[in-house]
Structure 1
Amino acid sequence: MTAIQPITGMLRRTLILDLGIGLGLGFVFGNAFWYGYHVPRTQKRDNYYSKLEETRAAKAAL
């Protein structure tokens, strides 16, 4: 007999199901955050600073 018995049967199925659901939901919500909040927010920030730089360059050219 081994010190720790192998995971078999219902416990193994439950463990695989729980890990699959956890990883799947983590991936879904991670993508929802990334593409639903982070990317649009970053684009707004980049647009703001590019417009700010354009106005500064226009004022400096005058």
Structure 2
Amino acid sequence: MISIAAFLLIAYPRSDRSIWVALRYLFVSNTAMLFYLVGTVLVYQAHHSFSFEGLKGAPL
């Protein structure tokens, strides 16, 4: 919800540049969220838990 509001605020001036910057923001933020979700799934598969206790034995 916040990313949609941020997109609208960035694109508000309705110039070509602001619209492209807003679309780039959406792409980058969605890509970052995808990496976060993939990492979360990998931790859950390895330790069958979402708790931070499962990360104790993780390699650095």
Q: Which runs of 4+ in 1 moved over 2 A?
A: 5-8
CA distance in structure 2 between the aligned counterparts of 1:26 and 1:17, rounded to whole angstroms: 14
Q: Tell me the equivalent position of 1:29.
A: 36
Q: 2:45 aligns with which of 31, 39, 43?
A: 39
* Structure ranking higher on relative contact order (CA contacts 8 Å, 6+ apart): 2
Which of these two proteins has the greater Rg computed from alpha carbons?
1
Q: Deviations over 1:4-52 (max 9, x none)?
A: x8833110000000000000010011101211x1111118xxxxxxxxx
Paired residue secondary structure (2:48): helix
| Residues paired across the two proteins, number | 38
CA distance in structure 2 between the aligned counterparts of 1:16 and 1:9, rounded to whole angstroms: 11
**Root-mean-square deviation over aligned CA pairs:** 2.2
* Stretches of structure 2 lacking an aligned partner (at least 5 in a row): 1-11, 50-60
